[in-house]
């Protein structure tokens, strides 16, 4: 990301604070992790994501998977942000549930596995990792 986006204009949001430290990113926010089996955690994470999206009003939101990223993309639709979903490299056999739902909120819907691409999406344009 730092190669295409100036660091001062990029905000990283993650569920793992160690990822920010390992990447040397000071401009990051940690949100709670959630999934469909944890409705209270999902509600809490939704509020965290809403605060971030409506406060920072990003022009572009890119997610590489997981429910919090999907929430940010959905919220970004309300502010007119461009929304890009890149399903996780870890989802080799099938798209994640979040990845399947991303087709409804993403402007660009991608997979990192060619055999998971379909004419109706997600598209495969190459591996990122």
What pLDDT shows up at residue 40?
A: 98
Predicted confidence at residue 27, as pLDDT, reads 82
CA distances for 22 relative to 6, 16, 28, angstroms: 19, 10, 12
pLDDT at 93: 81
pLDDT in tens, the chain (129 residues): 566 777 778 899 999 999 999 988 888 999 999 999 999 999 999 999 999 999 999 999 999 888 999 999 999 999 999 999 998 766 678 888 999 999 999 999 999 899 999 999 999 998 776
Strand order, beta sheet including 60-63: 60-63, 82-86, 108-111, 123-124
pTM (2 d.p.): 0.90
Looking at residue 38, its pLDDT comes to 95
What does the alpha-carbon distance between residue 62 and residue 82 come to, in Å, rounded to a whole number?
8
Residue-level pLDDT at 129 = 62
Q: What confidence score (pLDDT) does residue 2 get?
A: 62
- Token representation of residue 83: 């929304």
CA-derived radius of gyration, the chain:
14
Q: How far apart are CA 43 and CA 101, in angstroms?
A: 17
Tokens of 72: 């940010």
Q: DSSP H helical segments within 79-129, as ranges? A: 97-101
Grouping H, G, I as helix, E, B as strand and the rest as coil, residue 88 is coil
- Cα–Cα distance, 88 to 91 (Å, whole number): 6
For residue 45, the model assigns a pLDDT of: 98
- Estimate the crossing angle of helix 39-56 against helix 67-78, to 10 degrees: 40
Q: What is the CATH number of domain 7-124?
A: 3.40.50.2000
Residue 5 is predicted with a pLDDT of: 74
């Amino acid at each position: 990301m730092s190669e295409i986006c100036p660091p001062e204009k990029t905000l990283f949001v993650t569920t793992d604070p160690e990822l920010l430290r390992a990447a040397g990113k000071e401009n990051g926010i940690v949100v709670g992790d959630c999934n469909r089996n944890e409705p209270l955690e999902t509600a809490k994470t939704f509020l965290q994501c809403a605060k971030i999206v409506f406060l920072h009003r990003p022009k572009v939101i890119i997610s590489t998977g997981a429910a919090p990223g999907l929430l940010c993309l959905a919220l970004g639709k309300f502010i007119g942000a461009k929304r890009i979903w890149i399903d996780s490299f870890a989802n080799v056999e099938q798209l994640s549930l979040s990845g399947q739902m991303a087709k409804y909120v993403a402007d660009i819907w991608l997979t990192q596995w060619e055999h998971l691409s379909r004419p109706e999406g997600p598209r495969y344009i190459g591996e990122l990792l």
